[in-house]
Amino acid sequence: MTTAQLDKMRFELRRGVLVLAVLASLKQPHYGYSLRKQLQDGGVDIDEGTLYPLIRRLADQELLTSEWRQGEGRERRYYQLSELGSQLLAQLTDEWQNLNNAIGKLLLANSGEIE
């Protein structure tokens, strides 16, 4: 498999999961850079070009609320999970856990066969 193919598949794999990671991180208010930092510290590396438009898209869908705040001599737009976003996050979390368990078993079973 070429690097380009691998990158494309990683992108496909991560795309849906990133929404879950962003929603989960926004239980507490964050501005763009602090959210990116929190995700990075948690082991989810995401570039600015993907993250910032994603947050705006989620806010447009009313899954996040946002407000401009002044701090450290600069204005920043803070985002936080809305009521609708919290409901969606709960549903997506269940979905993720079911999927993770099922795929985990499949991967374990297949690794056993390979050995």
Partner 1 sequence: MDLVKRYVAAVQRELPDNKREEIGRELEANIMDQLDAQAEQNGPLTDNAIASVLKAMGHPRQVAQQFAPIAPLIASEHMQIYRYTLFMVLGILLVLQVFNSTANWLEHDFGLLLFVKSILSGFIEDASFAFTTITLGFIVISRAKPQYLQQAKEWQVEQLPSLQASKQHISLQDIVTDLITDTFLLAVISYLLLLSPEDLAGKTVWLTAHTQQVLLLGLPLLVVGVLLSLWQLSARQWNKGMQLLNIVLNIGFVVIMLYLAFNGPLLQIDQQNWPQIYGWERLQHAATWALLIGACWPAYEVIRDVIRLRRLSLSKIG
In the complex, the smallest distance separating the C-beta of residue 53 from partner 1, rounded to whole angstroms, is: 4
Q: What is the C-alpha separation between 81 and 99, in angstroms, rounded?
A: 23
The three-state secondary structure class of 27 is coil
Q: Is the Cβ of residue 17 or residue 32 nearer to partner 1 in the bound state?
A: 32
Please give the helix or strand (H or E) that residue 20 lies within, else none: helix 3-25
In the complex, the smallest distance separating the C-beta of residue 7 from partner 1, rounded to whole angstroms, is: 16
In the complex, the smallest distance separating the C-beta of residue 33 from partner 1, rounded to whole angstroms, is: 3
Contact (Cβ atoms closer than 8 angstroms) between residue 64 and residue 80: yes
Q: Is the Cβ of residue 75 or residue 83 nearer to partner 1 in the bound state?
A: 75
How many residues are present in the chain?
A: 115
Residue numbers at the binding site for partner 1 (CB under 8 A): 31-34, 37, 48-50, 52-53, 56, 74-77
Q: Is the Cβ of residue 20 or residue 77 nearer to partner 1 in the bound state?
A: 77
Contact (Cβ atoms closer than 8 angstroms) between residue 66 and residue 77: yes
